[in-house]
């Protein structure tokens, strides 16, 4: 064997030492990646069956009125130690072993090892983690990961909304974001309820208990989906409301989406149609104008007349089921029996009345989307200029004139209808109360700024409804209107007959004879039961439905089938189940989430609605604000990190044409 000179040995030892020094930063970086970056926003870093739910801290749950979970959070904790930072490994091992239930001797051996870090435990129960945090052992660290899960997937998705980076971005998740995650501002509305001061001040979060009834929600969504399939409608929405309290038992919008992977759906699919889609009352306005005329004392109730708009041509002979009172506007027989005002009502009086009962204007529901429906146009300011979005083509003037732009929304239409037939103008709402899991604090319903009608007028309107034939259990009364789709402002333009006749003869002959497309309608149904003292009120809207005017409306049949169970649900009382029941429910949901969490389809991406243009500059914004600005970008965004946006791809001002993906890099402590 060749002997290596002493000088060469020294050089080799020196080079080996330098190499080791150079490897230290790389090893440290690897450790940091393992500890803090190994689990990206859709990857599982060793989630095991022993992972526990978070009963302390973290984002709180959302329940229906019977405490069925609509949204729940899971916190998975892992504990590691840095042996070189431990001053007293023996004491640390003793405390950790007692808290975690592990072998003290084996743990002590690990803590005395000359290593940069050691895992102490993975997916530790919350109560054990709390004890370790209270011990405050120097050199022992805890990593916590929070996840949001929606066990019902598409059911009630538009009401519940979704969360990204612990920020509620839609629905109840957004409206009651401060309550759900705590750390919010003082809420004076909660001070009127028997809620702990810590919740009122925003220091401590609370579970949100909604007015929804999961059974009613499931049934109403199933009915709506069946109606859309049967009528080949383009979309639909439905609302079930308690007129006496304003509580919403069910609110359905189709098509639906899964908030567990909201990024996979377009903005059009995620929007809550019950609030933002235009509903054209059509002949239903006759009931509202009847109420206005009764208030003025202008209606001879003994001489009912067909309900037509002032100045409209006389109605054609009534059909067996539908009655055309204007071109493309049809009424159900119940509306045809209502008395029209004996004296024509000026448009200004109609406008004031429609405004007073909430038929037009801002949507009254406690959801963030209601703000979008507050006016005809909404202007959003961004770094790439201002964008004007069309809201509802509704205004009280248009409602009064009754033209093709006279639109409201489903929630406002049903709410204003209820204000005409019950003595208190209670606002529709979704918040029933708050809970810590052990008790329920009921929150008083919001006070409506609107004024109701005088009781004698309400009694007369109820009398009018009582004269209508019941169509279902519990004295269900239905009022329906159809408006042909081509008459509405949202419909595709139709070539007038005169313009078609003016086309050159050669052009006419060159065009193949096409079969006329069947007409489509917006179908609007309002129903109450019973008619004397309404306990439930229902609205069903179908957009672009193909209907046979010689047959009863499919929506009428659905309302009839649904009414009996709806009355039953409305009569039930809300009770708080035992804590053990709620804990078992969360444990079952956790097992479902664990399997779902590993599927590739649930990798987080944020889907946006494409309108083209250039990439806005969102640096310095929170994720919530950034996603709101990027709603029009048309890209799917992968989100990395948490906090404020510090980097983005594509870069600001980059043309978006041809691009389909982007990335947002977030970092804490970057608020400007």
CB neighbours of 580 closer than 8 A, spacing ≥ 6? Answer: none
CA angle (176 as vertex; 165, 221 as ends), nearest 5: 90
CB neighbours of 311 closer than 8 A, spacing ≥ 6? Answer: none
The phi and psi torsions of 163 (rounded to 5 degrees) equal: -130, 140
Band (538; pLDDT cuts 50, 70, 90): very high
Residue 282's alpha-carbon distances to 311, 486, 597, 619, in angstroms, are 15, 13, 47, 47
Band (198; pLDDT cuts 50, 70, 90): confident
Q: Which residue has the higher pLDDT, 292 or 128?
A: 292
SS3 329: strand
Q: CA neighbours within 13 Å on the CB side: how many for 573? A: 3
Kindly tell me if the per-residue pLDDT of 57 is higher than 70: no
Contact 215, 565 (CB under 8 A): yes
User: Which pLDDT belongs to residue 217?
Assistant: 96
- CA dist., res. 173 & res. 149, Å (int): 12
User: Which pLDDT belongs to residue 355?
Assistant: 85
Tokens 């079930």 correspond to 240
Which one of 25-29, 213-217, 472-476, 634-638 scores highest in mean pLDDT?
213-217
User: Which pLDDT belongs to residue 590?
Assistant: 79
User: Which pLDDT belongs to residue 223?
Assistant: 96
Kindly tell me if the per-residue pLDDT of 548 is higher than 70: yes
Residue 393: how many other CB atoms lie within 10 Å: 17
* Average pLDDT score over the chain: 75
Residue 87: how many other CB atoms lie within 10 Å: 9
Tokens 């989307």 correspond to 369
Joined tokens for residue 590: 């956790």
Band (486; pLDDT cuts 50, 70, 90): confident
CB neighbours of 146 closer than 8 A, spacing ≥ 6? Answer: 54, 58, 59, 73, 74, 75, 166
Joined tokens for residue 351: 């406008």
User: Which pLDDT belongs to residue 633?
Assistant: 63
- CA dist., res. 669 & res. 672, Å (int): 9
Q: What is the pTM of this model?
A: 0.70
Band (494; pLDDT cuts 50, 70, 90): very low
Mean pLDDT on 298-326: 59
Phi/psi-derived region of residue 6, left when phi > 0, alpha when psi is between -120 and 50, beta in every other case? alpha
Kindly tell me if the per-residue pLDDT of 58 is higher than 70: yes
């Amino acid at each position: 064997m060749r002997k290596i000179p002493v000088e060469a040995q020294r050089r080799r030892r020196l080079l080996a030492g330098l190499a080791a020094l150079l490897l230290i930063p790389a090893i440290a970086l690897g450790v940091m990646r393992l500890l803090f970056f190994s689990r990206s926003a859709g990857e599982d870093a060793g989630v095991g069956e022993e992972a526990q739910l978070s009963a302390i801290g973290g984002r709180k749950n959302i329940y229906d009125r019977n405490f069925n979970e609509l949204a729940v959070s899971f916190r998975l904790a892992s504990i590691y130690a840095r042996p070189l930072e431990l001053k007293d490994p023996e004491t640390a091992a003793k405390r950790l072993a007692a808290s975690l239930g592990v072998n003290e001797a084996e743990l002590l051996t690990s803590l005395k090892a000359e290593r940069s870090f050691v895992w102490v435990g993975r997916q530790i129960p919350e109560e054990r983690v709390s004890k370790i945090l209270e011990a405050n052992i120097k050199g022992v660290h805890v990593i916590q990961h929070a996840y949001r899960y929606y066990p019902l997937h598409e059911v009630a998705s538009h009401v519940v909304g979704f969360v990204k980076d612990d920020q509620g971005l839609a629905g109840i998740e957004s409206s009651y974001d401060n309550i759900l995650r705590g750390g919010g501002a003082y809420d004076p509305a909660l001070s009127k309820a028997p809620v702990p001061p810590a919740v009122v001040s925003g220091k401590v979060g609370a579970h949100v208990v909604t007015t929804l009834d999961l059974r009613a929600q499931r049934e109403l969504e199933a009915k709506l989906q069946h109606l859309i399939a049967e009528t080949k409608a383009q979309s639909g929405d439905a609302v079930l409301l308690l007129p006496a309290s304003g509580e919403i038992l069910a609110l359905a919008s189709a098509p639906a989406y899964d908030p567990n992977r909201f990024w996979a759906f377009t903005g059009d699919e995620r929007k809550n149609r019950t609030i933002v889609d235009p509903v054209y009352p059509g002949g239903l306005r006759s009931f509202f104008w009847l109420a206005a005329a009764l208030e003025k004392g202008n209606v001879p109730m003994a001489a009912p007349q067909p309900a037509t708009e002032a100045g409209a041509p006389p109605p054609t002979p009534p059909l067996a089921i539908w009655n055309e009172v204007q071109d493309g506007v049809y009424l159900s027989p119940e509306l045809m029996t209502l008395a029209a005002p004996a004296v024509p009502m000026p448009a200004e009086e109609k406008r004031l009345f429609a405004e007073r009962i909430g038929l037009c204007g801002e949507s009254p529901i406690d959801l963030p989307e209601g703000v979008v429906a507050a006016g005809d146009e909404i202007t959003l300011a961004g770094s790439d200029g201002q964008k004007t979005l069309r809201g509802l083509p509704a205004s009280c003037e248009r409602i009064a004139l009754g033209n093709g732009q006279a639109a409201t929304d489903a929630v406002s239409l049903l709410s204003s209808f209820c204000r005409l037939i019950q003595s208190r103008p209670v606002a529709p709402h979704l918040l029933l109360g708050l809970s810590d899991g052990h008790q329920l604090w009921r929150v008083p319903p919001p006070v409506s700024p609107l004024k109701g009608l005088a009781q004698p007028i309400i009694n007369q309107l109820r009398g009018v409804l009582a004269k209508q034939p019941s169509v279902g259990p519990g004295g269900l009364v239905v009022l329906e209107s159809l408006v042909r789709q081509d008459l509405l402002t949202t419909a595709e333009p139709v070539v007038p007959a005169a313009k078609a006749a003016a086309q050159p003869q050669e052009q006419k002959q060159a065009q193949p004879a096409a079969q006329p497309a069947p007409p489509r309608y917006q179908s609007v149904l309002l129903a109450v039961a019973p008619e004397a003292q309404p306990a439930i009120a229902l609205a069903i809207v179908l957009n672009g439905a193909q209907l046979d005017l010689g047959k009863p409306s499919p929506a009428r049949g659905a309302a009839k089938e649904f009414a009996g169970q709806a009355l039953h649900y409305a009569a039930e009382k809300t009770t708080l189940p035992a804590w053990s029941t709620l804990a078992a429910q969360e444990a079952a949901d956790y097992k479902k989430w664990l399997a779902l969490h590993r599927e590739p389809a649930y990798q987080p991406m944020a889907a946006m609605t494409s309108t083209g243009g250039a990439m806005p500059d969102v640096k310095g914004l929170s994720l919530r604000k950034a996603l709101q600005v990027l709603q029009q970008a048309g890209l799917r965004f992968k989100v990395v990190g948490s906090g404020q946006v510090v980097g983005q791809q594509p870069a600001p001002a980059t043309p978006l044409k041809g691009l389909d993906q982007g990335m947002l890099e977030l970092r804490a402590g970057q608020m400007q």
